[in-house]
Structure 1
Amino acid sequence: MKKRNKSKWLLLVALSLLVIVLQGCTKETSSKTGQPKEVNIGILRVPNDETVARAKQFYDPYFKEKGIKTNFVVFDSGVDANKAFSSGSIDFATMGHTNGVVALANQLPVKLIWINEVIGTNEQLVVRNASGVKQMDQLAGKKIATPFSSTSHFSLLNTLEKYHLTDKVTLLDMNTLDIVAAWKRGDIDAAYTWQPTLDQLLEDGTSLLSSADLAKDGYVTANITLGRDGFLEKYPDLTRDFLRANLEGGNFYRKDAETAADLAAKELDITKAEALKQMEGTLWLTGEELLSDKYLGTSEEPGDFAKVFSQTATFLHKQQTIQQEPTMEQINQFIQPLYIEQAMKEMK
C-alpha cells in the first residue's frame, strides 16, 4: 500500500514538473504559430519615430493582429536598458549611441539595427541664471550634472575638453528627474540634458551650446535602437516588421509634422508645441539615408556611423567609462543594416 502511494506521488510530481516546463516553453513561443507570445520594447520618453508609430498603431498589423502582445517599457537612459538586455528581459531598446558603445564593449548579446534620430538642439548645456555664468570659462569651479554614459555626458566631456575645463569642474551623475530637482534646490550650477527636462531648466537658465553645435565640430550623437541577438536570430521577420513600423512612423512625420506632433504630445502627455520643438531639434533619417555612406551604409559597405562609433569608443575608453576599446571589425559586426535593407525591400 505504501509503495502504491509512493508511486502515485512520484507520478504526480513528474506530471507537475512537465506542466511547469511546458508553461516555460509557451511563455516565449506559441506552439501553434512558432511566434513569440510577446515582444518587449524599451523606449525613451521622447517624440521620435517609435512614438509616432505607437500613436498611429503602426505596430499592430505586425504584432497584435498575429496574436503577439507588445510591451513598451520606459527607460530614463540606456544604462537601465543595457541592464535589461543583460538579463534577457527586453528584445529591442532605444538609447543614446554612447550606451550602444558600452553594450558592445561589455559584449552584451545585442546588435545596432536602427538610428532613431541624430541629436541636435534637443540636448543642450544650460547654466542657472543665478550662477552668474555667461560664458564657458566661467564654468570653472562649478557643479555640472548629467546622466553618465549618455549622449549628453559624451557631449559635455567633449565640451569641457575643448575649453580646457576637464579638471576644473565637479561632475555629478544624475538622471533627468533628479537634475530638475537639484536645479530647483540650487544644488547645481549647470546641466547637460535633453528634452523635456531641458525646457524646465531654460525657464530660469541660459543655454551655452547644443549638440547641434558640437556636431559641426565632428562630435555627432544619435539615439539608436539595439536588438537582442536571440530575438534577431530567431525572428528575423518580426525584426523587419518592427523596423517597417518605425519607417512608417518617420514617413508620417515627414508627410504631416503637425499631426505627428499632436499624436506624440498625447502619447507623452506634453503640449503639441513642446513635441514639435523636440522633433524639429533632431534629424529623422529616411530609410535611404540610413543606408547611405554617411550613416549605417549597407551589409557590403559600412557607413560613416561606424567611424562615429569608433570615435566615441576611443573617447569613452580614455575616460575609463569602458575597459576595452572595440576594434573597427567588432564595430562593423555590431552595426547590422541588413534588417533595414530587407524592410525597405518589403515596403516597395
Structure 2
Amino acid sequence: MKRKLMKKIFVLAAVLAIVVGLFSGCQSQNDGGALPKKVNIGYLRVPNDETVSKTRDIFDAYFNELGVPYEFIVFDSGVDANKALASGSIDFATMGNTNGIIALSRGIDVELIWIHEVLGEIEGLAVKNGSNITKPEDLVGQKIATPFASTAHYSLLNYLKEAGIEDQVQLLDMQTSEIVAAWERGDINAAYTWQPTLGDLEKNGSILVSSAEMAKKGYVTANVCLVRKEFSKNYPDLVAGFVKGLSEGGDLYRSNPQEAAESVAAELGITAENALMQMTGSIWLTPEEQLGSDYMGSVGKPGNFSKIMKDTADFLQSQKSIDNSPSQEEFDAFINSTHIEMSLE
C-alpha cells in the first residue's frame, strides 16, 4: 500500500514537472519570441520597394519560415488605411506622409518605421489636352480633382497658394479611380494624382507641375510605412524582419532595375517600361540613408524628415485639413528608426 502511494506521488510529481516546464516554455516564448496568429499588411498599388518584395516572394519566404500566415490588403488611400489601423484590423500600412500626420494628430496608436520613397515625377498635376491650361493662372475657375488629405493634395494646395489662386479654383475630393472616370467624362480638366492613375491622364494630357518640382521648392512628400505600436512592442523582431524585407526589395531595384520593373508590372497591370519610368520618378533610400540626418535619423537623433513632417502639419492645420498640429517632440517620437537599426544587426 505504501509502495502504491509512493508510486502515485512520484507520477504526480513527474506530471507536475512536465506541466510547469511547458508553462515555463510558453512564458519564455511570450516574453521573447511569441508570434502573432496572422499579419495583415495594408499597401498601395504603386511600384515601390514593398511591391517589389511582394512580387519577388521575399515576404512569402520570410513569413513561411516563421510559420505565420499573412495577407496584403489594398487601400486606395491612407484615409481608409488609418481607419483600419485604428480598428486593429491591419498591422502595417503604407500611405503618404500627410496621412501619417493625420494618424498622429488623431491619436491613432501607430509609429512611422520606414520611408518607401521620396516622391518626384511619380506624382503631378495633369491638365487635359485642348483645355488651354499652360500656366497656373489658367487654372482660375477650373475644377481640380485630388484625393483630399493626400500628398498630392498637399502639393496642389502649395502650388495654388504660391500662384495666389487658392481661392479661385474648385477642388474636388476624389479617389484615384474616380479621377480617371471624371477625366474621361469631361467633368474635369485638371487633377493632381499619382501613378499609375497619372499615366492614364497623360494619354490625353500633360503635366503642369510635378512633386519633384515642388520638392525643390521645399514641399517634400513621401510614401511611408506605419505600424501599430502594440504590434511592434509585442513583436519587435518580426517588425525588424519586415523592414529588412522592404530593404531587400530596394536592393533588387538598385542592382537590377529592369528585373524589379518586370516583377511589379504584372501586379499593377502596366508595362515594364511604364513601371520603370514610375520607379525612377522617385527616390528610394537605403537603410543607411534612412538613418542619416536628412531623413529619419537614428535613435535619439531625429533627422530632418521630422521637421518636414512638422512643417507639413502646420500647413495642413492652416488649411483646416487637421484640427491640431502635433508638436515637434511628438513627431520626433513618432518616427522610430529602431527597427531599421535592428534589421542591420
Q: Which residue of 1 aligns with 2:291?
A: 291
Q: Which moved more, 1:212-221 or 1:125-134?
A: 125-134
What is the CA–CA distance in structure 1 between the aligned matches of 2:138 and 2:247, rounded to whole Å? 44
What is the CA–CA distance in structure 1 between the aligned matches of 2:81 and 2:269, rounded to whole Å? 22
What is the CA–CA distance in structure 2 between the aligned matches of 1:291 and 1:157, rounded to whole Å? 30
Q: Which residue of 1 aligns with 2:119?
A: 119
The answer to whether the aligner puts 1:179 opposite 2:179 as a matched pair is: yes
The answer to whether the aligner puts 1:331 opposite 2:325 as a matched pair is: no
Q: Secondary structure at the match of 1:59?
A: helix
Kindly provide the amino acid, as one letter, of the partner of residue 304 in structure 1. Answer: N
The Cα shift of 1:179 comes to: 0.3
Q: Is the contact made by 1:37 and 1:67 (CA closer than 8 Å) also made in structure 2?
A: no
The Cα shift of 1:59 comes to: 1.4
Kindly provide the amino acid, as one letter, of the partner of residue 340 in structure 2. Answer: I
Q: Secondary structure at the match of 1:62?
A: helix
What is the CA–CA distance in structure 1 between the aligned matches of 2:186 and 2:240, rounded to whole Å? 47
Kindly provide the amino acid, as one letter, of the partner of residue 183 in structure 1. Answer: W
What is the CA–CA distance in structure 1 between the aligned matches of 2:225 and 2:65, rounded to whole Å? 23
CA deviation map 1:315-341 (0-9, x unaligned): 000011111110001001100011101
Alignment of 1:252-331 (within 5 A): 252-331=252-331
Q: Which residue of 2 aligns with 1:210?
A: 210
What is the CA–CA distance in structure 1 between the aligned matches of 2:157 and 2:101, rounded to whole Å? 16
Q: Is the contact made by 2:34 and 2:235 (CA closer than 8 Å) also made in structure 1?
A: no
The Cα shift of 1:128 comes to: 1.1
Q: Secondary structure at the match of 1:339?
A: helix
Q: Which residue of 2 aligns with 1:18?
A: none
Alignment of 1:36-51 (within 5 A): 36-51=36-51
Q: Which residue of 1 aligns with 2:246?
A: 246
Q: Secondary structure at the match of 1:131?
A: coil
Kindly provide the amino acid, as one letter, of the partner of residue 332 in structure 2. Answer: N
What is the CA–CA distance in structure 1 between the aligned matches of 2:164 and 2:148, rounded to whole Å? 20
The Cα shift of 1:62 comes to: 2.6
Q: Which residue of 1 aligns with 2:226?
A: 226
Q: Is the contact made by 2:297 and 2:303 (CA closer than 8 Å) also made in structure 1?
A: yes
Q: Which residue of 2 aligns with 1:4?
A: none
What is the CA–CA distance in structure 2 between the aligned matches of 1:252 and 1:205, rounded to whole Å? 33
Q: Secondary structure at the match of 1:167?
A: coil
The Cα shift of 1:213 comes to: 0.2
Kindly provide the amino acid, as one letter, of the partner of residue 114 in structure 1. Answer: W
Once the two structures are aligned, what percentage of the paired residues are identical? 52
CA deviation map 1:79-109 (0-9, x unaligned): 0100101111000000000000000000101
Q: Secondary structure at the match of 2:58?
A: coil
What is the CA–CA distance in structure 2 between the aligned matches of 1:233 and 1:66, rounded to whole Å? 18
Q: Which residue of 2 aligns with 1:129?
A: 129
Kindly provide the amino acid, as one letter, of the partner of residue 155 in structure 2. Answer: S
State the number of aligned residues. Answer: 315
Q: Is the contact made by 2:243 and 2:343 (CA closer than 8 Å) also made in structure 1?
A: yes
The Cα shift of 1:168 comes to: 0.3
Alignment of 1:66-215 (within 5 A): 66-215=66-215
Could you list the runs of 5+ residues in structure 2 that have no partner in the other structure? 1-28
Q: Secondary structure at the match of 1:144?
A: strand
Structure 1 runs of 4+ aligned residues shifted over 3 Å read: none
Q: Is the contact made by 2:85 and 2:91 (CA closer than 8 Å) also made in structure 1?
A: yes
What is the CA–CA distance in structure 2 between the aligned matches of 1:76 and 1:122, rounded to whole Å? 16
Q: Secondary structure at the match of 2:207?
A: strand
Could you list the runs of 5+ residues in structure 1 that have no partner in the other structure? 1-28
Kindly provide the amino acid, as one letter, of the partner of residue 252 in structure 2. Answer: F
Larger radius of gyration: 2
What is the CA–CA distance in structure 2 between the aligned matches of 1:62 and 1:259, rounded to whole Å? 21
Q: Secondary structure at the match of 1:81?
A: helix
Q: Is the contact made by 1:91 and 1:231 (CA closer than 8 Å) also made in structure 2?
A: yes
Q: Secondary structure at the match of 1:94?
A: strand
Q: Which moved more, 1:125-134 or 1:237-246?
A: 125-134
Kindly provide the amino acid, as one letter, of the partner of residue 98 in structure 1. Answer: T
The answer to whether the aligner puts 1:342 opposite 2:342 as a matched pair is: yes
Kindly provide the amino acid, as one letter, of the partner of residue 317 in structure 1. Answer: Q
Kindly provide the amino acid, as one letter, of the partner of residue 307 in structure 1. Answer: K
What is the CA–CA distance in structure 2 between the aligned matches of 1:254 and 1:179, rounded to whole Å? 32
**TM-score using structure 1 length:** 0.89
CA deviation map 1:114-162 (0-9, x unaligned): 0000000010111112322111111100000000000000000000000
